[in-house]
């Protein structure tokens, strides 16, 4: 080398920079290409490369396939199901389809209960639901919204068979033919067998399928005939539903079963409404129908389902009941999410819950604040330990590592229960404090069954999740950085704060994300040591899953939690940057 | 050495170091450096050279003895107050700071004002020809560039003593040579005192004013490079520095600047006694490969040896011939590639010889 010093860019020979530069120069010399680069055999290079890589890619895919499937089945699907459940509300529309349809023109603002058509629809819906025993489920569902509906529905399920008792008895007494199940079947098949009312059958079939919840393997029977359906429309519908239900759920031929009361009552109403109905039939059928028609008690033509329901329970005249059915009639509802945010969807619209019933927003805020506190305590306690682990000689560090991991190997319940022993007012910690004279015997600290207890116990339990990522990041920071800083004149503190700490931030980030996300969904520990002031939103979710059985609300709370976590994650990415998170090396 | 230590810039006085309380890593080290010297500590790994450097920097404490800087003991001064610049083997550039921030670090902790800081950073970067790289991160630089920055950072706060711990170890040969030259030039231009640790003897020989050869926790020889090469004081130094042929034998006669050695194979050769006892004791004679001649035309009193060619290696500017001499199958002879130089073939018998003063009789 001569007197003229060479800059780094003028160094000749094999430096990494020069190699790159030479490659660039070589590429430039080849000049621009026309069209795609070709492989040796003339196929485009890109395609050639893809073909060469395809096998590799397929093998990689095959290797990850089991995990992919596992995750899809056990993770993605349940989350999707949860999200769906939080808005899903098909039970009302499926159980009371005609009622919901009849309420189309009615609004809560009308100020009075709906008209007879709605009660009529309610009767036929309720009768089928009572047979299938789905009315209690619906009652339970609507009871979340308006208290009392559950018992109202259960009572209606029992009483619906008694509606129109006078009419049913009159028909029964008018001719012995009505006691014959096969006679009913014959009545419905009157006329040209080919001319069945297929639309009616299809409707009934769809309904029976929903109510029974199973695909129906019905023999393609032909009820009702078009003639019967024209003369006795209500009866045809009621009988078809009865027949399908009997066939598919009870698995009995309808011709051998007594028809439901709903069929009898429908016949009475048909005969009262259409005096010429018997003339569409002939022979014994016509005779029996005429006899029944003659025997009908007076006032059958003006039969009111509304009166019948009101007689059962006055609440059937209540605006709130009908308003609730109307408000939750749709297949999807925002009701669960509104409840989860301390609002309620009621017949008048959306309104805030009374202040003493607002719990979820408080719980969400508490969950977030306490999770942050726990994360912060974990950083404060875990950082020195991780530093020690990373800087001690290997043998000592391994022993210490076992101490860190030991809590991992004991049951969560044991650890949490141990905290109960330690923290309670007559517990070890208070005893020691009293013995030391730091607190008086009367002034024992309340360390458990409140937020303090939850924070202490959860910090302990989640500490390893902070220490491990911190340790693995610190392990990669060479001690020479600190030495360099000190040799450059930095005090121990400056060297740590300006040089070591910034490099350990990715570990803090990874640990914080782990701890925070685990904390926000924690359930067992707050349940055991949290009392009332230290429980998290997850405890409320668990309550709705296992005790109140309001899964929709639980799903809505869970979805909000999920969105919150994702939002915080996004925020973290914006502020710290997710590539600044390192779990190791 | 002891009288020089009083006014030396850096002085180790009877320094010992033990890590485990059982073995000494550094045994009784005495060393005095005048201001402005470029001293290299050279030695195999585990010889204690890095430990010495770390003690000087303040990262290790001496178990016994005193280390003095400008006459003042520094044993109890923490590293950050010693004001010694240091360049590390893996550069130790702070990865989360830009180049300029790295250079600003030592100035900031010294509370130097912004404008002065910037001026010093600029000067330091220009000094290592990296003036335009202030905004880059260390990870965006090549190894050689990083080393330049590390150098600039160690110099930016103008220390009078700079320590370098194998700074060029991770670089390729070409870059290493360029930087060797630059480091020596900077050291001389700035008049700084440098303690340089390396296990690369070429580096030590080309860069240093003096080289301290370490082995087994002691300085085996402290001398300028030429003296070290030409006149190794013991057989370890002779072996360690440069290429060397060793023949073992017994001293037959010692007379002033000349001695006669009877080799184990029975032949007799002349040598210069350097580190030997009296007649009858064992010795190792050391001859540099380039000082051996074929078919020598030496004085009548010079001894010659018969040799058989084992291997001939063409190396461009030189030829290496491996010979079998007096029972040693690895006797190397280096000859320059001249037009008239014969190329020997394996199996050929030759006569070799050397001037007696080039053949040094050392400790066994």
pLDDT one-digit tens code per residue, B328-345: 888 999 888 888 777 888
Q: How confident is the model at residue A7 (pLDDT cuts 50, 70, 90)?
A: very low
Query: How many domains does one find in chain B?
Result: 2
Please state, in angstroms and rounded to a whole number, the distance separating the CA atoms of residues B273 and B234.
Answer: 11
Q: Does A486 touch chain B (CB under 8 A)?
A: yes
Cα R_g (chain B), whole angstroms: 25
Please indicate if any CB of chain A lies within 8 Å of the CB of B230: no
Does one domain contain both B139 and B209? yes
User: Do B8 and B152 have their domain in common?
Assistant: yes
Strand pairing partners for B335?
B319
**Section A305-316 average pLDDT:** 88
In this structure, is the dihedral angle defined by the CA atoms of residues A332, A338, A340 and A344, taken in order, positive or negative? negative
Facing residue for A490 by CB, picked from B80, B145, B178: B80
Bridge partners of residue B321, in order along the sequence: B312, B333
Last residue of a domain, one of B201, B235, B269: B235
pLDDT digits (tens, 9 = 90+) for A266-283: 888 888 888 888 888 877
Segment A370-383 mean pLDDT: 95
pLDDT of residue B337: 86
Q: Where are the beta strands (DSSP E) in A332-409?
A: 343-346, 349-352
Average pLDDT, stretch A191-199?
Answer: 64
Report if residue A13 sits inside a domain.
Answer: no
**Rounded-to-integer distance, Cα A43 and Cα A263, Å:** 77
Mean pLDDT of chain A: 84
Would you tell me which residues 88-147 of chain B have a C-beta closer than 8 angstroms to some C-beta of chain A?
88-90, 92, 94-96, 105-106, 109-110, 129-130, 142-145
Q: Which of the listed residues B188, B214, B235 is the one where a domain comes to its end? A: B235
Q: What is the pLDDT of residue A22?
A: 61
Residue A273's contacts (CB-CB under 8 Å, 6 or more residues apart) are: A301
pLDDT at A1 over 60: no
Any residues with CB less than 8 A from the CB of A563 and at least 6 apart, and which?
Answer: none
Tokens 């709903």 map to which residue?
A262
Count of pairs with CB atoms under 8 A, one residue in A, one in B: 98
| CA trace torsion B20, B25, B28, B29 (10° rounding) | -130
**B215, B180 in Cβ contact below 8 A?**
no
- Look at strands B349-353 and B304-314 and give their pairing: antiparallel
Pair B172, B102 in one domain: yes
Is residue A83 within 8 Å of residue A558, measured between CB atoms? no
My answer on whether B95 and B65 are in the same domain is: yes
Is A38 among the domain residues? Answer: no
Residues A319 and A450 grouped into a single domain:
no
Q: Is A31 on the interface with B (CB under 8 A)?
A: no
This complex has an ipTM of 0.82
The whole-number pLDDT of residue B119 equals 92
Residues A457, A419 contacting (CB under 8 angstroms): yes
Q: Is residue A398 located within the same domain as residue A480?
A: yes
Residues of B in Cβ contact (< 8 Å) with A8: 129-130, 142, 144-145, 148
Containing structural domain, residue B351 = 243-362
Of the residues A59, A84, A109, which one is the last residue of a structural domain?
Answer: A84
pLDDT of residue B271: 85
With bands split at pLDDT 50, 70 and 90, how would you rate the model's confidence at B1?
A: very low
Instruction: Identify all chain A residues contacting B175, using CB atoms and an 8 Å cutoff.
Output: 11, 13, 15
Q: In chain A, which residues have their Cβ closer than 8 Å to the Cβ of B178?
A: 1, 6, 11
Q: Quote the pLDDT of residue A28.
A: 56
- What value does the mean pLDDT take over residues B312-323? 89
CA A369 to each of CA A419, A520, A533, B243: distance values in angstroms, whole numbers, following the listed order: 21, 9, 13, 72
What CATH number is attached to the domain comprising B152? 3.40.50.300
In a shared domain, residues B224 and B289: no
Q: Find the residue in B nearest to A7 (Cα).
A: B129
**Does residue A434 lie within any of the structural domains?**
yes
Query: Does the pLDDT of residue A14 top 70, yes or no?
Result: no
A493 has a chain B CB within 8 A of its CB: no
A7 found inside a domain:
no
pLDDT of A222 > 70? The answer is no
**Which residues of A are less than 8 Å from B157 in CB distance?**
488-489
Terminus-to-terminus CA distance in chain B, angstroms?
A: 26
Q: What's the pLDDT at A193?
A: 56
Are A374 and A448 found together in one domain?
yes
Both B34 and B132 in a single domain?
Answer: yes
- pLDDT at position B41 is 93
Q: What is the pTM of this model?
A: 0.74
Residues A77 and A172 in one domain: no
Q: Are residues A421 and A477 in the same domain?
A: yes
Alpha-carbon gap, residue B323 to B332, rounded angstroms: 6
DSSP structural state of residue A353: P
Tell me the pLDDT band of A169, cut-offs 50, 70 and 90.
confident
CB neighbourhood size of B294 (10 A): 17
Pair A312, A404 in one domain: no
B163/B265 same-domain check: no
Do B297 and B180 share a structural domain?
Answer: no
Residue B224 scores a pLDDT above 60: yes
What domain count does chain A have?
4
**Does A105 share its domain with A211?**
no
In the prediction, which pLDDT does B102 show?
A: 93
Estimate to the nearest angstrom the gap between the alpha carbon of B146 and the chain centroid.
24
CA distance A194 to A348: 50
Q: Which single residue is written with the structure tokens 């942050």?
A: A372
Euclidean distance between CA atoms A80 and A74, whole angstroms:
11
pLDDT at B39: 94
Q: What is the pLDDT of residue B55?
A: 92
The pLDDT, as a whole number, for residue A6 is: 44
Q: Is residue A465 part of a domain?
A: yes
Could you report the per-residue pLDDT of B286-310, keeping only the tens digit for each?
A: 888 888 888 777 666 666 788 889 9
In a domain, A18, yes or no: no
Mean pLDDT across A14-36: 57
What's residue A196's pLDDT?
65
Q: Give the pLDDT confidence of A78-124 residue by residue, as tens digits.
A: 889 988 989 988 888 888 888 988 888 888 887 888 888 889 889 98
Residues B271 and B325 in one domain: yes
Looking at residue A4, what is its pLDDT?
A: 43
Q: Is A19 part of a structural domain of the chain?
A: no
Here the contacts of A359-365 (C-beta below 8 Å, separation 24 or greater) are: A359/A540, A360/A537, A360/A540, A360/A557, A363/A535, A363/A536, A363/A537, A363/A540, A364/A537, A364/A560, A364/A561, A364/A564
Query: Pick from B92, B106, B144: which is nearest to A489 by CB?
Result: B106
The pLDDT of A552-580, averaged and rounded, is 87
Q: Are residues A537 and A464 in the same domain?
A: yes
Do B158 and B182 lie in a common domain? yes
Q: Are B347 and B280 found together in one domain?
A: yes
Last residue of a domain, one of B182, B205, B235: B235
Q: Is the CB of residue A485 less than 8 Å away from at least one CB of chain B?
A: yes
| Residue A511: closest CA among A477, A476, A475, A467 | A467
Q: Which two tokens stand for residue A108?
A: 């809560």
* Residue B2 scores a pLDDT above 80: no
| Number of C-beta neighbours around residue A357 at 10 A | 10
Shortest CA gap A487–chain B (Å): 5
Residue linked to tokens 């458990």: A448
Question: Which residues constitute the domain of residue A338?
Answer: 93-160+307-352
**Domain end marker among A84, A112, A130:** A84
| Chain B residues with CB-CB distance to A499 below 8 A | 94, 105
On average, the pLDDT of chain B sits at 87
Same domain, A174 and A316: no
Tell me whether residue A196 is exposed, middle or buried, using C-beta atoms within 10 angstroms of its C-beta: 0 to 12, 13 to 18, 19 or more. Answer: buried
Which pLDDT does position B3 carry in this prediction?
A: 43
A319-330: average pLDDT: 86
**At B342, which CATH number?**
2.40.50.140
Residues A190 and A141 in one domain: no
Query: Percent of chain A, pLDDT > 70?
Result: 89
Residue A467 and residue A382 in contact, taking contact as beta carbons nearer than 8 Å: yes
Domain check: are A59 and A137 in the same one? no
Whether residues B351 and B222 fall in one domain: no
Say yes or no: A105 and A182 in one domain: no
Report pLDDT for A163. 87
What is the average per-residue pLDDT within A500-524? 90
Burial of B271 (0-12, 13-18, 19+ CB in 10 A): buried
């Amino acid at each position: 080398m001569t007197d003229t010093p060479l800059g780094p860019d003028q160094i000749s020979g094999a430096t990494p920079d020069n190699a790159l530069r030479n490659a660039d120069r070589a590429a430039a010399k080849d000049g621009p290409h026309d069209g795609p680069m070709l492989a040796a055999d003339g196929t485009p290079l890109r395609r050639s490369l893809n073909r060469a890589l395809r096998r590799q890619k397929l093998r990689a895919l095959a290797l990850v396939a089991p995990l992919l499937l596992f995750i899809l089945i056990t993770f993605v699907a349940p989350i999707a199901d949860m999200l769906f459940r939080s808005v899903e509300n098909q039970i009302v529309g499926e159980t009371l389809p005609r009622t919901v349809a009849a309420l189309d023109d009615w609004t809560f603002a009308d100020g009075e209960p709906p008209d007879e058509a709605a009660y009529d629809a309610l009767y036929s819906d309720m009768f089928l639901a009572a047979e299938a025993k789905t009315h209690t489920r619906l009652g339970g569902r609507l009871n979340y919204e308006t208290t009392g509906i559950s018992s109202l529905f259960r009572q209606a399920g029992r009483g619906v068979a008694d509606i129109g008792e006078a009419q049913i008895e009159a028909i029964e007494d008018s001719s012995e033919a009505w006691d014959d199940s096969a006679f009913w079947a014959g009545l419905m098949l009157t006329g040209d067998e080919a001319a069945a009312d297929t639309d009616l059958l299809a409707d009934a079939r769809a309904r029976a399928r929903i109510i029974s919840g199973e695909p129906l393997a019905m023999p393609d029977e032909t009820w009702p005939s078009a003639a019967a359906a024209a003369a006795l429309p209500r009866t045809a519908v009621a009988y078809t539903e009865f027949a399908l239900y009997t066939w598919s759920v009870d698995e009995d031929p309808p011709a051998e079963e007594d028809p439901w009361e709903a069929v009898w009552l429908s016949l009475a109403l048909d005969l009262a409404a259409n005096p010429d109905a018997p003339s569409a039939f002939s022979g014994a059928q016509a005779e029996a129908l005429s006899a029944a028609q003659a025997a009908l008690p007076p006032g059958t033509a003006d039969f009111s389902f509304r009166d019948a329901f009101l007689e059962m329970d006055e609440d059937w005249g209540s605006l709130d009941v009908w308003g609730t059915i109307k408000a939750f009639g749709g297949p999807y509802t925002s009701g669960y999410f509104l409840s989860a945010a301390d609002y309620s969807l009621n017949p008048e619209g959306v309104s805030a819950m009374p202040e003493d019933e607002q719990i979820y927003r408080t719980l969400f805020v508490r969950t977030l604040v306490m999770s942050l506190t726990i994360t912060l305590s974990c950083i404060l306690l875990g950082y020195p330990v991780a530093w020690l682990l990373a800087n001690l000689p290997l043998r000592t560090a391994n022993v210490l590592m076992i101490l860190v991991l030991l809590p991992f190997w004991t049951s969560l319940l044991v650890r949490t229960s141990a905290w109960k022993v330690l923290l309670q007012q007559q517990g070890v910690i208070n005893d020691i404090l009293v013995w030391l004279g730091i607190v008086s015997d009367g002034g024992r600290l309340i360390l458990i069954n409140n937020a303090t207890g939850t924070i202490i116990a959860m910090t302990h339990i989640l500490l390893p999740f902070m220490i491990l990522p911190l340790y693995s990041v610190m392990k990669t920071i060479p001690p020479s950085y600190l030495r360099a800083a000190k040799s450059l004149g930095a005090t121990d503190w400056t060297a740590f704060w300006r040089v070591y700490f910034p490099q350990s931030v990715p570990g803090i980030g990874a640990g914080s994300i782990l701890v925070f996300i685990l904390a926000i969904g924690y359930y067992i520990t707050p349940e055991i040591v949290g009392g009332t002031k230290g429980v998290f939103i997850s405890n409320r979710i668990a309550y709705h899953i296992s005790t109140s059985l309001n899964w929709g609300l639980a799903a809505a709370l869970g979805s909000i939690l999920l969105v919150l976590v994702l939002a915080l994650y996004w925020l973290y990415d914006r502020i710290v940057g997710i590539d600044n998170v390192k779990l190791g090396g | 050495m002891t009288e020089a230590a009083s006014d030396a810039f850096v002085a180790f006085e009877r320094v010992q170091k033990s890590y485990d309380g059982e073995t000494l890593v550094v045994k009784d080290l005495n060393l005095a450096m005048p201001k402005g010297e470029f001293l290299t500590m050279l030695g195999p790994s585990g010889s204690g050279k890095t430990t010495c450097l770390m003690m000087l920097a303040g990262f290790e404490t001496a178990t016994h003895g005193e280390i003095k800087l400008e006459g003042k003991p520094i044993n109890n001064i923490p590293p950050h107050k010693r004001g010694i610049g240091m360049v590390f083997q893996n550069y130790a550039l702070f990865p989360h700071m830009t180049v300029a921030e790295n250079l600003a670090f030592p100035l900031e902790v010294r509370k130097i004002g912004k404008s002065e800081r910037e001026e010093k950073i600029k000067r330091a970067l220009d000094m290592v020809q990296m003036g335009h790289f202030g905004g880059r991160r260390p990870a965006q630089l090549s190894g050689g560039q990083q080393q330049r920055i590390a150098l600039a950072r160690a110099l930016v706060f103008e220390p009078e003593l700079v320590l370098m711990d194998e700074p060029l170890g991770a670089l390729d040969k070409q870059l290493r040579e360029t930087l060797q030259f630059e480091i020596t030039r900077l050291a001389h231009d700035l008049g700084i005192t440098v303690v340089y640790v390396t296990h690369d003897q070429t580096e030590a020989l080309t860069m240093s004013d003096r080289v301290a050869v370490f082995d087994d926790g002691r300085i085996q020889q402290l001398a300028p490079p030429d003296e070290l090469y030409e006149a190794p004081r013991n057989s370890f130094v002779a072996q360690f520095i440069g290429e060397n042929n060793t023949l073992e034998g017994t001293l037959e006669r010692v007379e002033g600047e000349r001695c006669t050695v009877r080799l184990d194979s029975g032949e007799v050769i002349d040598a210069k006694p350097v580190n030997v006892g009296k007649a009858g004791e064992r010795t190792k004679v050391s001859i540099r490969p380039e000082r051996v001649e074929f078919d020598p035309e030496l004085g009548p009193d010079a001894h010659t040896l018969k040799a058989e060619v084992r291997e001939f290696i063409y190396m461009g500017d030189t030829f290496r011939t491996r010979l079998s001499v007096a029972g040693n199958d690895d006797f190397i002879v280096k000859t320059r590639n001249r037009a008239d130089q014969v190329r020997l073939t394996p199996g050929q018998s030759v006569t070799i010889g050397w001037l007696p003063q080039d053949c040094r009789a050392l400790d066994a």
